[in-house]
Amino acid sequence: MSDSIQTAESAAFLQRLGALFDLGGPVVMLLMAMSVLALAIVLLKLWQFFYLQLHRSSFVENALQHLGAGRYDDALVSLRSTRNPIGRVMAVVVEGRRDPAHDDALVREEATRVGARYLEALRGQLRGLEVIGALSPLLGLLGTVLGMIEAFRQLESAGSQVDPAVLSGGIWEALLTTAVGLAVAIPVVAALNWLERRVDRFRHQMEDAVTRIFTQTRPPQPEQEAAVARPAAVRATRAADGH
């Protein structure tokens, strides 16, 4: 019984959808295709943000604690264990500061270059949402204008025997495309603003993390690196001797 009800409801929905296409014409079909494309882009960006773990930032404090204690190898392990691009950019800074041949200005330039590459990847496809959000109302207005032209053409062909239903029906069909255009544009623009806000927040977090490395930690000195490496060398020698 429930299967037959669901089948009937699906058939009724498809029938209403077909009637919508018939009334709106190619403009409505184009708007529906754009809405499907916009939905695909939004889902893709949500998956990308989740895969890159943009919602996780605890590794930043963990790495800064290791750096403050002079444990640069532990900090690098912590930063490289996350898929968040902030960790990759911080790792570039840490590795650059360990090399005495690199000054802070050069390390900052390299971090900026790597961070810009990740930002460009996060902003990818957002331009498509912007185009869809801007064109949808215009396409709806175009459909309205075309519908009004057709309605007045039918009114002219009716001559002296004018039926108000002809004009009102044509106007109703014409305004349908505007409604569809706005229905597509509003959620697309809202999703675009949220995604852009999320990317801006990521950029701020990345810049803050990189700056904290320079302001809250100091580059390792040769004596410090030797002191850190000495216990590891002793442990390796003991392991080789079988102790």
Establish if 43 belongs to a structural domain: yes
Establish if 157 belongs to a structural domain: yes
List pLDDT tens digits, range 180-219. Answer: 899 999 999 999 999 999 999 999 999 999 999 888 777 7
The two tokens of residue 33 are: 């295709």
The two tokens of residue 162 are: 């004018």
Q: Are 129 and 188 in contact (CB under 8 A)?
A: yes
- pLDDT confidence of 239, banded at 50, 70, 90? very low
Higher pLDDT, 235 or 133: 133
Using CA atoms, how far apart are residues 182 and 111, in angstroms rounded to an integer?
A: 42
The arithmetic mean of pLDDT across residues 148-169, rounded, is: 67
The residue range of the domain holding 145 is: 27-217
Establish if 56 belongs to a structural domain: yes
Write down the pTM of the prediction. Answer: 0.75
User: Residues with Cβ < 8 Å from 113, sequence gap 6 or more?
Assistant: none
Q: Are 130 and 142 in contact (CB under 8 A)?
A: no
Establish if 21 belongs to a structural domain: no
Establish if 113 belongs to a structural domain: yes
Establish if 208 belongs to a structural domain: yes
Using CA atoms, how far apart are residues 11 and 18, in angstroms rounded to an integer?
A: 10
Establish if 230 belongs to a structural domain: no
CA contacts within 13 A on the Cβ side of 209:
30
Q: How many domains does the chain have?
A: 1
List pLDDT tens digits, range 35-47. Answer: 999 999 999 999 9
Establish if 95 belongs to a structural domain: yes
